[in-house]
Structure formats: structure tokens, C-alpha cells
Amino acid sequence: MAWRARLLVEYDGTDYAGWQRQPNLATVQGDIEAALAVVFKRAVRVVGAGRTDAGVHALGQVAHADLPASAADYPALCDSLNALTPAAIAIRGVTSVPPGFDARRSARRRIYRYRLTPRRIACERQYVWQVKWPVSLAKLRRCARALPGDRFFTSFCVAKSAAKGTRCCVHRARWLSVEGEYRFEVEADRFVHGMVRSLVGTMVEVAAGKMPMTEFEQLLVTQRRQAAGPTAPAHGLCLLRVDYADS
Amino acid sequence: MAWRARLLVEYDGTDYAGWQRQPNLATVQGDIEAALAVVFKRAVRVVGAGRTDAGVHALGQVAHADLPASAADYPALCDSLNALTPAAIAIRGVTSVPPGFDARRSARRRIYRYRLTPRRIACERQYVWQVKWPVSLAKLRRCARALPGDRFFTSFCVAKSAAKGTRCCVHRARWLSVEGEYRFEVEADRFVHGMVRSLVGTMVEVAAGKMPMTEFEQLLVTQRRQAAGPTAPAHGLCLLRVDYADS
């Protein structure tokens, strides 16, 4: 007998080759599955809501797994998983869900955050992109205001993944200013591969005066991947939260 | 000719054996002096306001140095030092000060912060002590309220350093609750060696129900080092700021 469980997972992506299991590489999915295999003495597969890239962090990744354990065992299971996974992974909770719950397919919204700073920093530099030239917060905000809506993000998509469709509905996009740091928060029903980092890289081009605002607006319409700016580094990105119909 | 300059320094203490230069060990003072030696092609000594221990971080350490460069050169010097020091050090500014300014002796107040969390975390764990048992924020706050005043902190001092005097005037001490994390901020004219970590370790004993509040209050009066609780780990501590008469 197996019950479907939902895992809320935080991780520091610095030393990981991403979420998704890959042979001979350290991955978050791989480490969680290895811990579950120790607990249950059999192979257990976990499915995550978002397959974050190498170096990307998560404060609120969600995954599901079918486990030979019921809700009463979850608090102890959570402790065991935290004892068995490396320090870069924190299982923040294990909860009971109906068998039809699918961490990826049932997700209604995903919220990502990107942190950058225009100044030199030392602490928390594993989580913040240090941009080496001045950027205008006002221009970053003008770019963000152009994002919400249902549109094709082909221009901001890694080429090979465009086949799966590039249409996304962005519900909210904003830049916050927090203690000298700029934080981009974006909420959408789905994201195409590389989208947040490509958007951030391109917005920074605009904010640094290297690309006119009108060109950024054109990219949102013309769907030409090559025209977008460079991709922002992975370590500034974090999967903040995944929302479901019941949450 | 040499002019006295003031350096504002941020560092991630994780991989450092502390601020103070030591033979064959990576230290912040050592790395900054090495960078200055490259720039000026001669040995330059820097004096820091606080000699932070191994593993302790700083967002606002202050140091002085006598440099063969005047104020007009400081912006370029700051860039050079940032290029020459490791990523764990950020020189946030170089400013001109009178020859009598002494980073240590002229300091009027030092502000430290200690971060701890009662839950398992993955991101930013290099900067936060993960306490493995429940702690009461209300009790932490009761302890903090007992601290301000001019008193002897002998009970919270590393034994060998007590000879230099243990009297400190604590101007403010408080615990903040920030996104599931508890942050202790304490401001005093001076700190005895190991004082903040010993205070935090002991307050956590009280907040975990392992030591009665009355015993904590006694420690502030009786001056017996052995009676205090364990020392909290270095990585939760950060030198936030140093204040001078002119700032």
C-alpha cells in the first residue's frame, strides 16, 4: 500500500547540477530519492513542480511521491529525511494529498525571485548577482510593467525547449529595492526554460542603457530568441513558491 | 608622504581564521594588507575596529591605514582593492580621516547581530545557527531586556581575556523576528572577547527551558565565567556597524 505525499523542499543550488536526477551528478531529486530509498528500503521516485537548472536555489519547491507510509508517519519521516539529506537540502514539510495530486501538473502558479546588486558584496554572494555596471531601478520597473499578460515568451526561451510551447500567463512582475539590492519577483502559470534568467539579463541591458526600452517591448511581440539579451547567472535565481488550487 | 584613510569592509568569515593576521592562515587583515602591498609596492599595516573570531562575518568592519595616496585616489583604490582581494571580502568605501583617527580606539559603539533559527534551513545556512530544539522568543526577549546598562560581563568572557577588563556599557539589546528567524542585535561601547556568542548561547539555554531566567540574571551580577551556558557557533555572528564621534 502506498499513499501520495507532498514534500515542501528548500535547497541551496550552489553545488547541484539542478533539480533533475542525472547519472553521476549531484542533483536535488537524486539526493531526496536516495534518502527515501534508505528509509523505505526500496526505490522511490519523486516528481518536482519545477526542474530548476544547475545553481538555481529554491525556498519552496514542491514534489510528490507515493510512499508506503501514512500521514501519522510524516513528522518522523520529515526528520529522517533531513538527517539523511545533505545540509544544502531542507525538507520543510511532508503532508498528505489525494492520489490525483501531481506536483507538476496540478500547479497553478509558480513564483520566482531574482536577486541582483549593483555593488560589490561579500556576504550572501552565493545568492545574488553582482552586476558590475550601474543599473537604473526605474528602467527595471518599466520593463517589469510590460510583462503581465498572456503571451508567447519565445524570445526569452532556450531554443531547444521552444517545441513544448512558449505561451505563459504572467500574473505579476515587479522589482523591489531591499537594502541596496534589487529583487525581481515574477508569478506565472508556467515558465519556459531559461525564461526568468533571460528576462532578467535583458532587463539589465535596458537598465544599463545598452538596449532601448522599445526593443525590449518588441521582443515581447516578435518572438525571436536571438534578439534577447544575455542570460543572467543561475545563482541569483530562486524558486520561491508553487501554488495549487487548494492552497 | 602618507595620509590616513578609513576603510569600510564587508566580509564572509566562513573560510577565514578571523580578522587578525596570523602566520600561514587566511585572515581578512592579511588579505587586505596583501592587496595594499600590491597597489603600493610596500608593506602597509591596517588596524581594524574589532578583531572578529574565525568564522565570524562583518557587514561594517572599519579599519584605518596610512597610505601614500590622497582622497582623490580613493575611488580608484577601492576598485583596485576589490579586484585584488578574494570574493569573500568587499571594500565598501575608502574615505579620508584626520591623522588622529584610530579605527579601534576612536570607536564609540559597536553593533553586532546574531542570527538563529529553530527550523531546518538550506539557503543562507552559512550565516544562521540552526538550533535543533524549540526556543521561546518571549524568553529570549526577557533575557535581552536584562542586558542594557554599565556592568561587568565577566561571566560571558573568554577566561584568558578577562585581564583587559570586562566592563562594558550595553546601550541596546533586542531580539527581532524576521521570516521565521530570530535576530539578536546588541550595541555597546565595547565587547569582551566571546561576549556576544556566550550571551546568545546562554540566552538560548534559558529560551529552551534548560536554565531559569533568575540564573541568567545572576550571571550578570556574579561574574563567574564557568556558570554561563555554551558559546553559540561563530557563523551566526556578524559585526554590523562601528560608530564614531563624527558619524
Query: Residue type for A229, please?
Result: G
Q: What integer is the mean pLDDT of A149-173?
A: 84
- Indicate if the pLDDT at residue B205 is higher than 70: yes
- Indicate if the pLDDT at residue B72 is higher than 60: yes
Task: Give yes or no for B178 touching A (CB within 8 A).
Answer: no
What count of residues does chain B have?
247
Is B225 in contact with B202 (CB distance < 8 Å)?
A: no
Interface contact A123-B12, CB threshold 8 A? yes
Which residues is B9 bridged to in the sheet? B61, B91
- Indicate if the pLDDT at residue B243 is higher than 90: yes
Strand ranges for B37-166 from DSSP E: 46-48, 57-67, 89-96, 107-117, 129-130, 149-152
Catalytic position from the list B53, B66, B102, B150: B53
Interface contact A12-B91, CB threshold 8 A? no
Interface contact A10-B123, CB threshold 8 A? yes
Residue B119 DSSP code = S
Q: Which residue has the cell 555597546?
A: B188
pLDDT of residue A165: 82
CA B211, CA B218: separation in Å to the nearest integer?
Answer: 11
- Comparing A46-60, A123-137, B1-15, B157-171, the range with the smallest average pLDDT is B157-171
Q: Which residue has the cell 534577447?
A: A228
How do beta strands A237-244 and A57-67 pair? Answer: parallel
- Indicate if the pLDDT at residue A221 is higher than 60: yes
C-alpha angle B166-B167-B169 in degrees, rounded to nearest 5:
135
Question: Shortest CB distance from A123 goes to which of B10, B120, B122?
Answer: B10
pLDDT band at B161 (very low <50, low <70, confident <90, very high): low
- Average pLDDT of chain B is 94
CA proximity to B82, closest of B6, B10, B5, B2 = B10
Task: Give yes or no for B12 touching A (CB within 8 A).
Answer: yes
Phi, psi of B58 (to 5 degrees): -145, 135
CA A230, CA B137: separation in Å to the nearest integer?
Answer: 45
Handedness of CA A99, A100, A105, A111 (dihedral sign): negative
pLDDT of residue A87: 98
CA B95, CA B72: separation in Å to the nearest integer?
Answer: 10
Interface contact A120-B11, CB threshold 8 A? no
- Indicate if the pLDDT at residue B246 is higher than 60: yes
CA B216, CA A121: separation in Å to the nearest integer?
Answer: 37
- Indicate if the pLDDT at residue B213 is higher than 80: yes
Task: Give yes or no for B150 touching A (CB within 8 A).
Answer: no
Cβ-in-10-Å burial (0-12, 13-18, 19+) of B1 comes to exposed
CA A142, CA A206: separation in Å to the nearest integer?
Answer: 10
- Comparing A150-154, B57-61, B181-185, the range with the smallest average pLDDT is A150-154
Q: What is the pLDDT of residues A67-115, one digit of tens each?
A: 999 899 999 999 999 999 999 999 999 999 999 999 999 999 999 999 9
Three-class secondary structure of residue A210 per DSSP: coil
Residues whose CB falls within 8 Å of the CB of residue B156, separated by 6 or more in sequence, listed in order: B192, B194, B195, B198, B199, B202, B219, B225, B228
What count of residues does chain A have?
247
Residues whose CB falls within 8 Å of the CB of residue B127, separated by 6 or more in sequence, listed in order: A123, A124, B57, B115, B235, B236, B238
pLDDT band at B54 (very low <50, low <70, confident <90, very high): very high
- Indicate if the pLDDT at residue B153 is higher than 70: yes
Query: Residue type for B152, please?
Result: F
pLDDT of residue B227: 67
| Active-site residue list of A | 53
Q: How far apart are the CA of A218 and the nearest CA of chain B, in angstroms?
A: 37
CA proximity to B56, closest of B154, B228, B195 = B195
- Indicate if the pLDDT at residue A199 is higher than 90: yes
Strand ranges for chain B from DSSP E: 3-11, 46-48, 57-67, 89-96, 107-117, 129-130, 149-152, 167-178, 181-188, 237-244
CA A94, CA A6: separation in Å to the nearest integer?
Answer: 6
pLDDT of residue A34: 98
pLDDT of residue A225: 67
pLDDT of residue A77: 97
Distances (CA, A) of B12 to B2, B76, B85: 30, 23, 12
pLDDT of residue B3: 94
Cβ-in-10-Å burial (0-12, 13-18, 19+) of A245 comes to exposed
Interface contact B123-A11, CB threshold 8 A? yes
Q: What is the pLDDT of residues A123-138, one digit of tens each?
A: 999 999 999 999 999 9
**In the structure grid, which three cell numbers stand for residue B189, read together?**
561601547
pLDDT of residue A90: 98
Phi, psi of B6 (to 5 degrees): -115, 130
Q: Is B53 a catalytic residue?
A: yes
For testing contact with chain B, the best of A59, A113, A120, A127 (most B CBs within 10 A): A120
More confident residue, B111 or A222: B111
CA A53, CA A45: separation in Å to the nearest integer?
Answer: 19
Residues whose CB falls within 8 Å of the CB of residue A108, separated by 6 or more in sequence, listed in order: A189, A243, A244, A245
- Indicate if the pLDDT at residue A65 is higher than 70: yes
Q: How far apart are the CA of A69 and the nearest CA of chain B, in angstroms?
A: 22
Q: Which residue has the cell 599595516?
A: B45
- Indicate if the pLDDT at residue A247 is higher than 60: no
Q: What is the pLDDT of residues A209-220, one digit of tens each?
A: 999 999 999 999
pLDDT of residue A154: 86
Query: Residue type for A101, please?
Result: F
Q: How far apart are the CA of A155 and the nearest CA of chain B, in angstroms?
A: 31
CA B145, CA B135: separation in Å to the nearest integer?
Answer: 17
**In the structure grid, which three cell numbers stand for residue B194, read together?**
566571546
For testing contact with chain B, the best of A91, A123, A241 (most B CBs within 10 A): A123
- Comparing A185-189, B165-169, B213-217, the range with the smallest average pLDDT is B165-169
pLDDT of residue B154: 86
Task: Give yes or no for B93 touching A (CB within 8 A).
Answer: no
